[in-house]
């Protein structure tokens, strides 16, 4: 399984949006004009990740990070690609690097929490979701992640409370 499509449907939805024809066309135009543009490279890597072209995604996002080493979004794409290619140690290193470089990036905490849930490191995952929620109290995925972590621990009543908080923020959120 993958951290994007099992633990957090929202990440899959975001990746699906990245794969849209319009974004693909815009990204290709940007890279034609400016082949080294780190934003274009990031989007291309994300599209390749969505297309399950993981090796291309890794090479492309590494190239983007050479141009912009501080990009948390690119580091998250790299971490997810590493996770999907069965390189969990590299994935974890990238999540940690992203968080160390940008400790206020709540999305990195969410993604790292999803990754940790997939590794049955539930307590560590809860800690990441809690950090994400403290940085962004309207973070639906953080609440849903906390709910899933508590459910995995067998704390169903607490899990339901967190899920209800997520529903208040987004009535369309699905259980993990």
Q: What is the residue-level pLDDT of the chain in tens, covering all 176 positions?
A: 333 333 333 444 444 554 577 777 777 777 778 788 899 999 999 999 999 999 999 999 999 999 999 999 999 999 999 999 999 999 999 999 999 999 999 999 999 999 999 999 999 999 999 999 999 999 999 999 999 999 999 999 999 999 999 999 999 998 86
Q: pTM for this one?
A: 0.83
Asked whether the beta carbons of 87 and 110 are under 8 A apart, the reply is no
Cα 91 from Cα 112, distance rounded (Å): 9
Q: Which H or E run contains 9?
A: helix 9-18
Instruction: Report the pLDDT value the prediction gives residue 1, as an integer from 0 to 100.
Output: 30
Looking at residue 5, what is its pLDDT?
A: 32
Alpha-carbon separation of residue 46 from 58, 118, 121, 132 (angstroms): 9, 20, 26, 22
What does the pLDDT read at residue 116?
98
| CA 151 to mean position of chain CA atoms | 21
């Amino acid at each position: 399984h993958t951290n994007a499509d099992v633990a957090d449907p929202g990440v899959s939805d975001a990746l699906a949006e990245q794969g849209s024809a319009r974004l693909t066309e815009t990204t290709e135009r940007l890279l034609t004009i400016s082949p080294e543009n780190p934003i274009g490279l990031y989007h291309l890597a994300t599209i390749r990740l969505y297309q399950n072209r993981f090796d291309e995604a890794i090479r492309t996002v590494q190239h983007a990070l050479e141009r912009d080493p501080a990009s948390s979004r690119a580091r998250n794409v790299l971490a997810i690609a590493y996770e999907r290619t069965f390189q969990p140690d590299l994935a974890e290193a990238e999540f940690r690097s992203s968080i160390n470089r940008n400790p206020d990036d709540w999305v990195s905490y969410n993604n790292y929490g999803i990754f940790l849930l997939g590794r049955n490191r539930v307590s560590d995952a809860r800690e990441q979701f809690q950090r994400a929620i403290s940085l962004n109290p309207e973070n639906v995925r953080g609440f849903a992640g906390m709910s899933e972590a508590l459910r995995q621990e067998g704390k169903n009543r607490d899990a339901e409370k967190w899920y209800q908080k997520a529903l208040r923020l987004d009535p369309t959120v699905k259980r993990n």
